[in-house]
Structure 1
Amino acid sequence: MHNLMHQPVYRLNWMISGQFCDAVIKVEDVEFEIHKVILCKCSPYFLALFQRWSSSNKKVFVIPGMSPDIMRLIIDFAYTSSVSVTEENVQELLMAADQLNVMDVVQTCCDFLGEQLRADNCISIFQLTDIVLSAELQHRAYRYMADHFEEVAYHDEFLQLPLQQLIDILERDDLNVRNESVAFEAVLRWIDHVPGERKAHVAVLLSKVRLALMSMDYMRLKVLPNELMKTNTESATMVWDALKSISHIRTSNSSVAQLRNPLARPRLPNAILLAIGGWSGGHRTNGIEAYDVRANYWINVTNNCEWPRAYHGTAVLNGSLYCIGGFDRAEHFNSVHRFDLSTRFWHEAASMCHRRCYVSVTVLDECIYALGGFDGRTRLSTAERYRPEANQWSLIAPMQEQRSDASSTTLHNRVVSTHETAYDPENNSWHEVSPMLTPRSNFGIEVLDDRLFFVVGGFNGFTTSFKVECYDATTDEWTEACDMDMFRSALSCCVVSRLPNMAEYVVSRDALPFLNEDANSDKQS
């Protein structure tokens, strides 16, 4: 009998037949005949209700605080081990399951809500976790809110945020705003929703906005003329302090100047650019550097367990960085190594079917594709696909042409080649983009922040380079970005987004002022 009690089909037959019922659960005016032993199996609440909180001869148990429909779902779950969760019933069902300590239903509801996160509901789901304790759902809801803040700030739920929750969100380094004006305008919208009550909080909220990261033009045209800034003395002082900081950053020619001022502290990036391997100082290297676009700073994250390689391809898939193929001036590789970005350990993956350097690598539908390349004797038209769940490469249809050393990326639905041309698929046409500031070959190229693409390192005709340039598609202009620590060419670049341990791959915000001082002293010495 004990084993049969664990089988949902057996319990379901009991429920349908109504045999051997020994208690009644009453919710409002609806009564449910139940078997105590079955409800006790799904929740310690019922065990306590039937054994410790009532006499042995009691038959009817009244459950307050929920509807009969929700109680029916929970009783059905006790008998069938399954429950139907919908957008309409999930919140009420979660509250009831939490009240009755039916933790399997609580987990099912939390999983459902985690999959339903949107810009218009993530705040209410986050607030729900203050009532129903779920660290996992709370983290997922906060991450969605922080990652999609620009959208979230335009929905009604944002306007209902309590003051302290808004302060907590704004002061986080991991709040994802491409421009700090997004945070400033969100504060104004929140205040304007109930101005008489909320304008008194403008100074404390403004102190959480990184004002000194805004442009001088935006500060003069949008911030200074705002009535709240002009009528609140504390806010006006902060604005003028921010303007002084912006001016100092410009004149000192340092993007991390004055970072002791919290108004100029860069937030954590949503994505980082990794530069991997290549040739440096006449030798292949295993060096890995990560570029923090918000702080305009490179950090060395090299793991010395990796084999040095150059002319290789890279791809990021499911939290791992794959280094594919390559060449060391003696051997052409078909080997593949996987770097776990969470644990920062290297693992060997299945080798490709063909040796390939100068290989083009991309990811599509949870698979990695290696296209063309050079095997030491000929340029290749072959292509192959890697399935990580099987750890296996398989050949796919060959390309129409042999090709190697092909580098390109996509930006704003256009394909951008390394020859300073861009293809627009809507018009089926190519057009030139502005030339780079420095001629180079064998460089890395990647898109970051959805509007900028970076060219990294390379060979300038005389030597390998550590120079980095950034192209802004909206202005068709190139600007210099922070130099790498390492001179290198024949490297590979890739972008990694939304790492749970992103702080390990960016410069410490608390260390930035001291790093800046070291850099300045090095330049002066």
Structure 2
Amino acid sequence: MDLREKLNEHRRQNFLCDVNLIVEQRKFPAHKFVLAATSEYFSNMFVDEAPPLPPMHSTENDEQKENGKILQPKEDDENELVVDASSKNGHKAESNEMQSDDKVGNSANGTFGKSEKIIADVELEGAKANGFEAILKFLYTARFSCKAETVMEVLHNARVLKLSDVMQNCLVYLCQNMTVLQCIPTYQMALQYNYFPLVASCKQIVLNKFSELLVTKHFLEMSPVLLCQMLSDDNLKIPDEKLAMRAVIKWIMHDITVRKSLADRMLASIRFSYINTSDFLTELDKCKDVVYLKERFEACQVFKSDKSLLSGAFSLSFESNIGKDGSQKFPELVSMQHIPRKSYRPKIILTGGVSSYRNSIIDWCDNYDLFAHSWSQSNRLAISRSGHCMVHFDHRLLFLIGGQRSPDEFLNSVEIYDSADDRFRPTPSTQSLLKARKWFNAVQYGRNVYVVGGYSGDGPLDSIETYSPKTANSSWTSFAALDVAIFSFGSVVLGQELFISGGVINSSNSEELRSFCFKSKKVSQRSSMHLKRSQHCLVAVKDCLYAIGGRNCSEGVLKSVERYSIMDDAWTKVSAMSSARAGACAVVFDGLIYVFGGRAHLSIPVATTRKGANGGIVDPEMEVYDPMTNQWNFLPVDNNNANQFAGRSYAAAVLMQPLINSS
């Protein structure tokens, strides 16, 4: 045990302690010399500033003064003080050794200007007993430690005692470990004392966990300035806009007399374009007894969007805000907010794959904002994957399943997206697939997730496994088998059937289309495609299927597209993409098909491609197909480094739908 720890142990045992620090009627024994040595606050408390003592002199000097003779000391060298020889009783000066003794004596008598105060008990006004032990431990050991339940008291004590190091440690701890219950009181304190990094950290917690904060008592204590700032922020994470409306009603109704006048400021921050009529009326019913507030909300309900989010323009009608005389009832309520928040904007989530930027299998997770047309990077996956699948279950749970980590390592592990932390987390091993696989497909049907076919270390698979996310302690189980073992195929669910197109069967590319009925577990053959395809995309728009790109042995990588009509059981060729793509990703949003990534050439293996040769991977531009016009267009990308995001193949992509309902 080192000296500091030994002293701290003596303090805890009240051994040789000479002062009691009284905090809220609790006594904390301590050693004054330790406190004074480690804290300027306690040093000033325990030590008095004393007046300087008169200079030391001898009796002989006094006699000489009385005779009118003044001594003139001379320094012949730095070790000897010489007295003037005209002195009556001249003698050799005292040696330097005697000088040193005098200095020590002077110090002991207070020449340094300090003397100890005799204090037995000290009451520390303003300090808090809770968390004071952590302060003493730091002063004795120079080691900081505190707990979440006492960190605020420790910070308060550090501020009272002017311990800047402890304050800094507390602020770092709070920034890293802030909870929803702490954020509002902490924000108010941080704002009062100008702890700006902590203010920013508190705001970030409010933005990220607003839904949780809304059900706590601390939400009602939010200042109107902070609430307006949060409601106006595009980064506010809420599942839908009705939650913002609910928050404003709850906050105002808590103190309607005082807060009623702030209603207009709050309402101007709500995106009424994204609240449907039924939800609006449900929330409005909560303030039906407050006529003024009800009228203000009704005036705001006029903001309605009648165009897609991608258009970036909204048609607004103000009929219900027009009075009988043709004037606006509440002109100040014309909202400036018609942009969807980032939390419910439509976006594409892209995970893993083989990157042209890194020339390897990656663990990246990226988002494409369909409103802002820009890519952004999220937290990374638990492990690198390619040839895997994602399923957005009930628009709430996002599963990432299987794939490969390297050419020889197939995966059966599953990750699930944690929206609170914006990252994928591994599920327990009990929720892993029965069979590790890559180049398979995964879909949702009803209340279950299904994985179909694929390739394992033993070769192609015909098995179908199922998992029920809503069942407690659920695990993957065997569900059925296809009529053939198959991998690198396209699939999509329509109605009660899973449609499976192309793929590799018996080591050959296939042009077949088959449907699997979930109820009967039987496979039926449908009309075949015009071309054999594997590593292609299959998506559904209304009652039609679209087979996009892929590859076959005779033509290599394909840019052709075919449309299948379920009613006619027939395939039709439609406009081809600008670029040939195999192993690409495709999603459907608002009736449009978005395709990105993939490989344009398969003759050059990625592992042997020189750096910068792009590994045959298609450039990151996203192509968009409009079935109504039968035309492909490139979608603008507002990123200089877009190649890092979309320039990859054998990745998995899924659409995160905006939570906006039509009126």
Q: What TM-score comes out, normalization by structure 1 length?
A: 0.57
Mapped to 1, the partners of 2:587 and 2:537 lie a distance apart of 9
Mapped to 1, the partners of 2:175 and 2:367 lie a distance apart of 31
Matches within 5 A, 1:283-362: 291-292=367-368, 296-300=371-375, 319-320=379-380, 324=384, 358=387
**How many residue pairs align between the two structures?**
402
The CA deviation string for residues 277-313 of structure 1, in whole angstroms up to 9 with x for no partner, is: 7799xxx999x995455x54532569xxxxxxxxxxx
- Out of 421, 438, 448, the position equivalent to 1:404 is 438
Judged with a 3 Å threshold, the aligned counterparts in structure 2 of structure 1 residues 479 and 39 are, in CA distance, closer, same or farther, namely farther
What's 1:197 paired with? 258
Alignment check: 8 A CA contact 2:23 2:125 kept: yes
Which SS does the other structure have where 2:225 is aligned?
helix
Matches within 5 A, 1:489-504: 490-493=649-652
What's 1:519 paired with? none
Alignment check: 8 A CA contact 1:180 1:211 kept: yes
Matches within 5 A, 1:229-244: 236-240=298-302, 242-243=303-304
- Out of 239, 247, 257, the position equivalent to 1:186 is 247
Give unpaired runs (5+ residues) of structure 1.
303-315, 326-356, 363-367, 386-395, 446-454, 471-477, 498-525
Judged with a 3 Å threshold, the aligned counterparts in structure 2 of structure 1 residues 268 and 89 are, in CA distance, closer, same or farther, namely same
Mapped to 2, the partners of 1:31 and 1:220 lie a distance apart of 59
Q: Aligned letter for 1:8?
A: E
Root-mean-square deviation (CA, aligned residues, Å) is 5.6
Matches within 5 A, 1:113-512: 117-131=178-192, 134-135=195-196, 137-215=198-276, 217-219=278-280, 227=288, 236-240=298-302, 242-243=303-304, 246-247=305-306, 249=307, 254-258=310-314, 262-269=336-343, 273-274=349-350, 291-292=367-368, 296-300=371-375, 319-320=379-380, 324=384, 358=387, 372=404, 375=407, 403-408=437-442, 414-417=448-451, 423-424=467-468, 426=471, 433-434=493-494, 442=535, 459=550, 460=561, 464=581, 468-469=587-588, 480=592, 485-487=621-623, 490-493=649-652
Q: CA deviation at 1:405?
A: 0.8
- Confirm whether residue 35 of structure 1 aligns to residue 31 of structure 2: yes
Alignment check: 8 A CA contact 2:231 2:269 kept: yes
Bigger mean CA offset, 461-470 vs 177-186: 461-470
Q: CA deviation at 1:152?
A: 1.4
The CA deviation string for residues 463-482 of structure 1, in whole angstroms up to 9 with x for no partner, is: 54785226xxxxxxx96576
Alignment check: 8 A CA contact 1:443 1:489 kept: no
Judged with a 3 Å threshold, the aligned counterparts in structure 2 of structure 1 residues 369 and 209 are, in CA distance, closer, same or farther, namely closer
Structure of greater relative contact order (alpha carbons < 8 Å, 6+ residues apart): 1
Q: CA deviation at 1:183?
A: 0.4
Q: CA deviation at 1:418?
A: 7.0
Alignment check: 8 A CA contact 1:273 1:495 kept: yes
Judged with a 3 Å threshold, the aligned counterparts in structure 2 of structure 1 residues 434 and 169 are, in CA distance, closer, same or farther, namely same
Q: Aligned letter for 1:197?
A: V
Judged with a 3 Å threshold, the aligned counterparts in structure 2 of structure 1 residues 399 and 443 are, in CA distance, closer, same or farther, namely same
Mapped to 1, the partners of 2:286 and 2:138 lie a distance apart of 60
Alignment check: 8 A CA contact 2:390 2:442 kept: no
Which SS does the other structure have where 2:261 is aligned?
helix
Q: Quote the sequence identity (%).
A: 18
Give unpaired runs (5+ residues) of structure 2.
51-113, 316-333, 392-399, 415-428, 454-463, 481-491, 503-533, 539-545, 551-560, 563-575, 597-620, 624-646, 657-663
The CA deviation string for residues 241-294 of structure 1, in whole angstroms up to 9 with x for no partner, is: x13xx13x35xx7452149963212223389723677799xxx999x995455x
Report which of the two has the higher share of strand: 2
What's 1:94 paired with? 155
Report which of the two has the higher share of helix: 1
Judged with a 3 Å threshold, the aligned counterparts in structure 2 of structure 1 residues 29 and 45 are, in CA distance, closer, same or farther, namely same
